[in-house]
Amino acid sequence: MKRASLAPNPDPVLNQPITPELVKKHGLLPDEYEQIRRHLGGDPTLTELGIFSVMWSEHCSYKNTRPLLKGFPTEKRGATEHFGRVLVKAGEENAGIIDVGDGWAIAFKIESHNHPSAIEPFEGAATGVGGIIRDIFTMGARPVLLTNSLRFGELETPATRRLLRGVVAGIAHYGNCVGVPTVAGDVYFDRSYEGNPLVNALCLGTLRHEQIRRGKATGLGNPVYYVGAATGRDGLGGASFASKELSAESASDRPAVQKGDPFMEKLLIEACLEMMAVPGLVVGIQDMGAAGLTCSTCETASRGGAGIEIELDRVPQREPGMNSYEIMLSESQERMLVIVEKGREREIEEVFAKWDLHASHVGSVTDTGRMVVRQHGVVVADIPASALTDNAPVYQREARRPAYLDATSGWTPEGDALPDLDLGGARAALARLLAHPTIAAKRWITRQYDHMVQHGTVVVPGSDAGVVRLRLGSSEKFIAISNDCNGRYCYLNPRRGAQIAMVECLRNLVCAGATPLAMTDNLNFGNPYKPETFYQLKECVAGLAEACRFFDVPVVGGNVSLYNESPEGAIDPTPTVSIVGFIESEAHVTRQFAREAGASVILLGGAPTELGGSQFLGLIHGRKTGDAPEVDFAAEQRLQGLLLAQIKAGRVRSAHDLSEGGLLVCASEMLFGPEQLGASLDLCALPAPRLDALLFGESQGRVMVSVAPADAALVVRAAAEAGVPADAVGSVTAGDALTVKTARGTLEWSVSGLRAGWESSIEGAMKRPGIG
């Protein structure tokens, strides 16, 4: 049924009838198409069909995950009038904002660019960084740090090396040029990410409370401006592309990958912040990210309870002859939509002229509640804005517990007749674990990122958390940030695995001397239409939500990336957690590296006992099985409370949590700092039914600290009072030896030898060719 309100489009392409094939090609279900017809009162135009397809894609609508995400706490119970209040909540805007006192706030968010990076690693990763930076400054905040969370297949395969090289170069290209330091990150290499790498990028910015801007179109007749780069045909339909599985044909989707221009972004940051500093000028602002002009217009209209009308002939275009479908769906980068106060057009135009950027008056705010788009004098789209946003479909998907869990969760080393390690085996295992790319030094990666620009970086990448000094007006504050998620645990026990991601992230922050504040998360999963995948998603979200409530860490924003599958299957569920913590005083900043010989080494949390899901089990025995390690929130809280108190009391010289690779990897990493030190440990007093589990098991809630010998007894006593197991296991030494006494005999390594293998692993692998 044609709609009377729309004149036929003289362009035959745009005027073509909508067939079921065309609907299917746009990734819409027949029932969804019927809903579209009801919203419109007739058949959509081709441009409208394209608009619905991107807005109703998972990437923009969260149609399969919205009900689950409601379980996350969005407020901080322990917030005070002066600190910790959530000022902009998750889902309200492009990024959440939290009060950090003295009238200042931080905005931060993580977002994925997985599919583009799989196809075109350099541009995919680069534009991922660009997109998340825009999400931050569109809120009115100045971007001050970046982090990223990366997952690849095993580095043994040439295709992985090509992806790693491209992704790292892309992040470096964008972040370095735009001048925001990349201060932390995490990288895992596991077969499940073969062909479907994960590239999650986080940005954090600072702003005054009164500088908070929203993506809202209000005020009848207020002009709508398009600022930044011109629109081209790149990135057509990127949001829909991100909402399907990768296949052999995905390479032909390359036009759906955008090309970034960090120089343009840098100008856009400065121009936008300058414009937003003009009192009362900006009514609303939103970046054109996924779904470009489409998303920014209908979302601002919907949030403002208003309508918006735009004229595409006024949109700066990179090439001639683009039709309305292409312009509306283009994902060209470095563009923003700005609504300003009527009558103040000259003020915005002057700011952008200074920066030599486009500022084009493309339309105005209406009171119709509709998004109306014109091109060459013809209405090409006329849609109720809320139909694209609040009234997008929502689904409750079917969840089914995957059958493999029966086998893996019941696994025991005894049942598997797994022999325990002898001394020779233990000796070799540590060297092999340290050289595995997941554990090995990430210097090959981090030295390509500018992690020092803006001169505020206190702890550079390589310790448990990145630490940055924020200059807020005349005062300064120190924050720590860490990203965590072990997908293997989430595969073996989705609920617990997600909780481990959270408690480990908290532990990393506490090890750096910080009090955790708030979180952003990136949920990376496979196809939600597969009940087993949806089960993983549902369980992970439930687990995270429980942990967030227990530890009073609100989720202030995040991102969902589904359909992370290659022909080999789905990725391990990867709900990446990023938490920001506050450090009260610079004196509390703590690193993971031992600082002087003679320091006592204390293991907090007790002896590790579990092997399930460990790197050791995977690397040495070729098994991805067992249950994920246990999580005990109360014990974790006691441990972290104790550790923070001891750090504040000035007793902790270094702190490093036990994670991948367990106790001996932790001890080694403690020695891989700027000083050349050894250690002598005696583990005989620790209960160890199995040597492998003691040395390499990944039981949670453990931290290794070094303290001045005079403080050791005080720390152990404080731990006893707090109900935290504490074992003095040895001391830092001046030599090059790591000596570990066990009930089965004494192990010894050369620290420099271990370090050489740890340091050269990724660099050595990257000297070999990658293909693509």
Partner 1 sequence: MNIAVLQFPGSNCDQDAFQLFASGLGLPTRFVWHKETGLGEADLVVVPGGFAYGDYLRCGAIARFSPVMGAVREYAEKGGLVLGICNGFQILCEAGMLPGALIRNSSLEYRCLTCDLVVEDAGAAFNPRTLGKRIRLPIGHGEGNYRIDEAGKARLEANHQILLRYLDNPNGSLDGIAGVRNEAGNVFGMMPHPDRAFERFHPSTDGLAVARAVLSVRFPEVIRKTA
Residue ranges that bind partner 1, judged by CB under 8 A = 169, 172, 176-179, 261-264, 266-267, 355-356, 446-455, 458, 469, 586, 589
Closer residue to partner 1 in complex, CB, 182/408: 182
CA atoms within 13 A on the CB side of 555: 28
Write out the two tokens for 462. 């390589």
CB of 453 to partner 1, least distance (A): 6
Closer residue to partner 1 in complex, CB, 125/500: 125
Of the candidates 113, 133, 132, the one whose C-alpha atom is nearest the C-alpha of residue 123 is: 113
Spell out the SS3 assignment of 487-549.
HHHHHHCHHHHHHHHHHHHHHHHHHCCCEEEEEEEEEECCCCCCHHHHHHHHHHHHHHHHHHH
Of the candidates 416, 392, 284, 476, the one whose C-alpha atom is nearest the C-alpha of residue 28 is: 392
Note the Cα 751 to chain centre separation in Å: 34
CB of 448 to partner 1, least distance (A): 5
CB of 455 to partner 1, least distance (A): 4
- The three-class DSSP label of residue 438 is coil
Residue of 26, 113, 115, 173 marked catalytic:
113
Please indicate whether residue 113 is annotated as part of the active site. yes
Of the candidates 200, 187, 52, 119, the one whose C-alpha atom is nearest the C-alpha of residue 560 is: 200
- The three-class DSSP label of residue 726 is strand
Closer residue to partner 1 in complex, CB, 514/601: 514
What is the C-alpha to C-alpha distance for residues 754 and 741, in angstroms, rounded to an integer?
Answer: 18
Closer residue to partner 1 in complex, CB, 442/538: 442
Residue of 26, 59, 436, 656 marked catalytic:
59
Q: How many CB atoms lie within 10 A of CB 746?
A: 12
Q: How many CB atoms lie within 10 A of CB 313?
A: 12
Cβ-contact 63, 55 below 8 angstroms: no
Cβ-contact 265, 133 below 8 angstroms: yes
Closer residue to partner 1 in complex, CB, 179/606: 179
What is the C-alpha to C-alpha distance for residues 591 and 656, in angstroms, rounded to an integer?
Answer: 8
Note the Cα 589 to chain centre separation in Å: 24
- The three-class DSSP label of residue 742 is strand
Write out the two tokens for 518. 């708030």
CB of 645 to partner 1, least distance (A): 23
Closer residue to partner 1 in complex, CB, 355/411: 355
Closer residue to partner 1 in complex, CB, 266/621: 266
Note the Cα 648 to chain centre separation in Å: 29
| Neighbouring residues of 19: CB distance < 8 A, sequence distance ≥ 6 | none
Closer residue to partner 1 in complex, CB, 281/458: 458
The region, left, alpha or beta by phi > 0 then psi within -120 to 50, assigned to residue 745 is: left
Work out the end-to-end distance of the chain between its first and last CA atoms, rounded to an integer number of angstroms.
48
CB of 178 to partner 1, least distance (A): 7
Of the candidates 630, 660, 634, 642, the one whose C-alpha atom is nearest the C-alpha of residue 604 is: 642
Please indicate whether residue 173 is annotated as part of the active site. no
CB of 457 to partner 1, least distance (A): 8
Closer residue to partner 1 in complex, CB, 453/728: 453
Catalytic residues: 59, 113
